[in-house]
């Protein structure tokens, strides 16, 4: 896992790109939010006319 610092010559801003990013997929807060969203979509489906075919 590496960290790369990039500096853009036109700006004074420096971007940091890192592979060391924490995964929040299994955090209880986000799992609960995802379950609520799935349940809401089961109860209120998206109309067919708005779905891409």
DSSP string spanning 6-50?
EE-TTSS-EEEEES-----TT-HHHHHHHHHHHHHHHHSPPPGGG
pLDDT of residue 42: 96
Q: From first to last of its 53 residues, what are the pLDDT tens digits of the chain?
A: 566 666 555 666 677 788 888 888 899 999 999 999 999 999 999 998 988 87
The pTM score is 0.53
Distance separating alpha carbons of residues 27 and 8, to the nearest angstrom:
35
């Amino acid at each position: 896992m590496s960290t790369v610092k990039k500096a853009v010559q036109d700006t004074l801003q420096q971007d940091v790109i890192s592979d060391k990013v924490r995964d929040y997929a299994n955090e209880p807060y986000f799992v609960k939010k995802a379950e609520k969203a799935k349940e809401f979509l089961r109860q209120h489906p998206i109309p067919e006319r708005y779905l891409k075919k």
